[in-house]
């Protein structure tokens, strides 16, 4: 009986979501008819849930679930009121900010404006003196990722719970193919993501290229809602591809309207550098940094940019860690090429001195690829971000605990690469970029949320507080302070690369699709409540590309018609 009810409810919900997708198709997200349909359907689901799942005395749901283990059967089935008024805050979008109220119903922003009047059944949150902003969208994470003989310690529940506690309400994770198969990889990630407690999307890595992969790429875009593919130019012998595959992949991406992404490091030179260090007797974490200097990142970044230019397709460079790589991006942009550079929090606020720390566990936790660079690169990346040379901030959240990092105690090549950040990004970017006066609050929204939504074609459903947008919202108090420590963070990680960081600007409330999931320092999250967000191809990065192609073809003056001379 319960299973049948759940299936019926799920069907109604998915029907209502697909109605919504049709609406966004026709660019009529705000259409009145649709809103009425949705509200009607959601009310039916709501009624069904009360008739079919009455909350009995023994089943009482606790106000907050502070434990982020998803085995807790008492941890919220139905977690917070569906009608919320956020009163008197400064509502910030990437294009504009104003003091206004925000009214949310059934997970959607219903109105934004002054003095909104509501009935008594509405939960009111006072945001006077605070910023009301779109929840963060992290474009770069690795939850439950099998990598370097182990698996990242945060799964789709613990990683997302951590994200919500830090003000991020959506992330895009990288699906890793299984033995080169995109389909098997996609299925395995759908399975991993069943325990999600916030919305998520997928990028897909491509580790080989043939007819089958080419067809699978098509399927991912046309059926499965993936609009970006990542190519690893490093990790020789594992995920790395060569230039031939990269060019084939770029061409395929272009034909599908999907964004090509690269991990840009020269993997052959990095492997040679690693051997050189080991031959010199340098086996500790500092050897990692020494084996793959910024020049290798610059070379691969420049190469990927030029190959994308030869194909005339947009390119997204993930985890830009050095001023060198950033300069390549700046050059390309200056010449009019469509290139996006994504710095990550670790690159913006840390330096490589930690890798020389005498304690292995401390040093190893900072090991990632490309490496965190020397002092100076951080400031150069911050400046590039404030000028728009780099456009959005990710985390590359790829957490391995001390025991996992110890796999490389005798050989840095075996230390699993990756650092944390999904919970810390919103606070650290605020502290480093806004609190310091480097960027405006509207630009903060842009680089932490809106730009990601635009690039991956889910704006304005995500990345904005507009009528009709998903109610993914944070309330940030600029006068409150935060402190980062592994003792209190929500990730399963036993360390934190930002340990001890104190700063100003605290996310006091996180609302995920209309549910208050983080408030007064407590999390209220529910496994299975997160939705997979499908992303359509041919986002704005592709606008006008056909004209550039046509201009290129007409500039060729070829094939030349030649006279044939009769014998
Ligand atoms: O060290 C890193 N970055 N680990 C995650 C995998 C990747 O390269 O993005
Ligand atoms: Zn990478
Ligand atoms: Zn990554």
CA dist 562 and 463 (Å) reads 56
> Which of 151, 236, 322, 417, when mutated, tests ligand 1's pocket best, judged by the most ligand atoms within 8 Å of its CB?
417
Atom of ligand 1 nearest to the CA of 142: 5
**Maximum alpha-carbon separation in the chain:** 100
Q: Is the CB–ligand 1 distance for residue 417 below 6 Å?
A: yes
In this model, does residue 57 exceed pLDDT 50?
no
Q: Is the CB–ligand 1 distance for residue 398 below 6 Å?
A: yes
Atom of ligand 1 nearest to the CA of 232: 8
pLDDT in tens, 455-472: 999 999 999 999 999 999
In this model, does residue 72 exceed pLDDT 50?
no
Rounded to the nearest angstrom, the distance between the alpha carbon of 418 and the centre of ligand 1 is: 5
> Which of 369, 404, 421, when mutated, tests ligand 1's pocket best, judged by the most ligand atoms within 8 Å of its CB?
369
Rounded to the nearest angstrom, the distance between the alpha carbon of 338 and the centre of ligand 1 is: 24
Average of per-residue pLDDT across 17-25: 33
In this model, does residue 70 exceed pLDDT 50?
no
Structural contact between residues 116 and 83, judged by C-beta atoms closer than 8 angstroms: no
pLDDT value, residue 566:
77
pLDDT value, residue 394:
99
Structural contact between residues 509 and 516, judged by C-beta atoms closer than 8 angstroms: yes
pLDDT value, residue 565:
80
- The CA-to-CA distance between both ends of the chain, in Å, stands at 87
pLDDT value, residue 1:
30
80-89, 95-104, 470-479: lowest mean pLDDT where?
80-89
If one counts every other C-beta atom within 10 angstroms of the C-beta of residue 172, the result is: 23
The environment of the single-atom ion ligand 2, i.e. residues with CB closer than 5 A, is 263
Between 431 and 45, the more confident residue is 431
Secondary structure of residue 559 in the 3-state scheme: coil
Average of per-residue pLDDT across 556-564: 94
pLDDT in tens, 147-166: 999 999 999 999 999 999 99
Q: For atom 9 of ligand 1, which residue has the closest CA?
A: 396
Atom of ligand 1 nearest to the CA of 417: 1
Q: Is the CB–ligand 1 distance for residue 142 below 6 Å?
A: yes
Rounded to the nearest angstrom, the distance between the alpha carbon of 421 and the centre of ligand 3 is: 11
pLDDT, averaged across the chain: 89
Q: Is the CB–ligand 1 distance for residue 368 below 6 Å?
A: yes
pLDDT value, residue 564:
86
Rounded to the nearest angstrom, the distance between the alpha carbon of 154 and the centre of ligand 3 is: 14
Average of per-residue pLDDT across 526-538: 98
Q: For atom 3 of ligand 1, which residue has the closest CA?
A: 369
Atom of ligand 1 nearest to the CA of 234: 8
How many Cα atoms within 13 Å fall on the side-chain side of residue 104?
28
pLDDT value, residue 79:
55
What residues are paired with 519 via a beta bridge? Answer: 509, 522
Q: 367-393 b/e with 16+ CB inside 10 Å = b?
A: bbbbbbbeeebbebbbebbbeebbbbb
**Considering only CA atoms, which of 381, 434, 424 is closest in space to residue 399?**
424
What is each CA distance from 133 to 14, 330, 338, 511, in whole angstroms? 27, 29, 28, 10
Atom of ligand 1 nearest to the CA of 235: 8
Average of per-residue pLDDT across 194-204: 98
pLDDT value, residue 516:
98
Rounded to the nearest angstrom, the distance between the alpha carbon of 176 and the centre of ligand 2 is: 12
Q: Is the CB–ligand 1 distance for residue 418 below 6 Å?
A: yes
Q: Is the CB–ligand 1 distance for residue 263 below 6 Å?
A: yes
CA dist 408 and 301 (Å) reads 28
Quick one: 60 exposed, middle or buried, by C-beta within 10 A (0-12, 13-18, 19+)? exposed
Residue 370: is the preceding peptide bond cis (ω within 30°)?
A: yes
What residues are paired with 178 via a beta bridge? Answer: 181
Rounded to the nearest angstrom, the distance between the alpha carbon of 45 and the centre of ligand 3 is: 38
In this model, does residue 361 exceed pLDDT 60?
yes
Quick one: 43 exposed, middle or buried, by C-beta within 10 A (0-12, 13-18, 19+)? exposed
**Ligand in closest contact with the CA of 263:** 2
Q: Is the CB–ligand 1 distance for residue 396 below 6 Å?
A: yes
Atom of ligand 1 nearest to the CA of 239: 8
> Which of 396, 421, 493, when mutated, tests ligand 1's pocket best, judged by the most ligand atoms within 8 Å of its CB?
396
**Ligand in closest contact with the CA of 398:** 1
Percent of the chain with pLDDT over 70: 86
Q: Is the CB–ligand 1 distance for residue 432 below 6 Å?
A: no
Alpha helix (H) ranges present in 358-487? 360-364, 377-387, 402-405, 425-429, 441-445, 451-455
What's the gap between Cα 75 and its chain centre? 26
Q: Is the CB–ligand 1 distance for residue 512 below 6 Å?
A: no
Secondary structure of residue 295 in the 3-state scheme: helix
CA dist 439 and 27 (Å) reads 31
pLDDT in tens, 264-305: 999 999 999 999 999 999 999 999 999 999 999 999 999 999
Which residue in the block uniquely carries the two structure tokens 């974490």?
285
In this model, does residue 67 exceed pLDDT 90?
no
Atom of ligand 1 nearest to the CA of 318: 9
pLDDT category of residue 210 using cuts at 50, 70 and 90 = very high
**Ligand in closest contact with the CA of 347:** 1
């Amino acid at each position: 009986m319960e299973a049948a009810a759940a299936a019926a409810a799920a069907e109604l919900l998915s029907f209502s979501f697909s109605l919504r997708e049709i609406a966004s198709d026709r660019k009529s997200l705000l259409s009145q008819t649709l809103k009425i349909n949705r509200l009607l359907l959601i009310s039916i689901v709501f009624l069904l849930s009360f008739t079919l799942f009455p909350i009995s005395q023994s089943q009482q749901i606790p106000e907050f679930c502070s434990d982020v283990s998803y085995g807790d059967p008492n941890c919220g089935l139905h977690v917070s009121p569906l009608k919320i008024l956020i009163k008197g805050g400064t509502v910030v979008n990437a294009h504009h900010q104003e003091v206004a109220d925000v009214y949310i119903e059934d997970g959607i922003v219903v109105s934004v404006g002054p003095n909104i009047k509501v009935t008594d059944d509405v939960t009111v949150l006072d945001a006077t003196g605070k910023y009301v902003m779109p929840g963060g969208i992290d474009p770069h994470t690795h939850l439950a990722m099998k990598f370097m003989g182990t698996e990242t310690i945060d799964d789709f529940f613990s990683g997302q719970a951590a994200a919500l506690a830090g003000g991020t309400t959506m992330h895009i994770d990288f699906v890793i193919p299984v033995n080169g198969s995109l389909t098997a990889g996609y299925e395995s990630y759908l399975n991993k993501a069943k325990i999600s407690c916030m919305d998520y999307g997928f990028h897909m890595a491509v580790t080989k290229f043939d007819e089958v992969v080419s067809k699978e790429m098509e399927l991912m875009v046309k059926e499965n809602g993936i609009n970006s593919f990542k190519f690893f130019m490093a990790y020789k012998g594992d995920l790395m591809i060569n230039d031939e595959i990269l060019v084939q992949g770029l061409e395929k991406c272009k034909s599908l309207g999907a964004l090509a992404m690269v991990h840009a490091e020269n993997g052959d030179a990095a492997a040679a550098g690693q051997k050189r260090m080991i031959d010199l007797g340098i086996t500790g974490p500092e050897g990692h940094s020494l084996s793959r200097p910024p020049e290798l990142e610059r070379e691969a970044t420049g190469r990927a940019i030029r190959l994308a230019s030869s194909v005339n397709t947009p390119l997204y460079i993930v985890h830009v860690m050095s001023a060198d790589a950033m300069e390549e991006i700046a050059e390309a942009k200056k010449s009019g090429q469509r290139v996006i550079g994504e710095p990550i929090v670790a690159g913006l606020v840390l330096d490589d001195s930690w890798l020389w720390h005498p304690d292995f566990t401390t040093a190893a936790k900072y090991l990632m690829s490309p490496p965190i660079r020397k002092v100076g690169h951080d400031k150069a990346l911050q400046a590039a971000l404030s000028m728009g040379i780099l456009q959005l901030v990710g985390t590359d959240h790829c957490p391995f605990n001390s025991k996992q990092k110890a796999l490389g105690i005798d050989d840095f090549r075996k230390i699993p690469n990756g650092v944390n950040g999904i919970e810390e990004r919103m606070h650290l970017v605020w502290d480093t970029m806004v609190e310091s006066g480097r960027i405006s609050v509207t630009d903060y929204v842009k680089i932490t949320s809106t730009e990601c939504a635009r690039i991956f074609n889910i704006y304005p459903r995500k990345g904005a507080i507009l009528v009709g947008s998903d109610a993914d919202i944070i309330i940030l108090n600029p006068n409150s302070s935060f402190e980062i420590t592994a003792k209190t963070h929500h990730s399963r990680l036993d360390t934190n690369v930002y340990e001890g960081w104190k700063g100003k600007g605290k996310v006091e409330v996180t609302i995920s699709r209309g549910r208050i999931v983080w408030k007064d320092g407590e999390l209220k999250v529910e496994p299975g409540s997160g939705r997979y967000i499908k992303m359509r191809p041919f986002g704005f990065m592709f606008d006008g590309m056909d004209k550039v192609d046509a201009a290129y073809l007409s500039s060729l003056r070829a094939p030349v018609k030649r006279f044939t001379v009769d014998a």
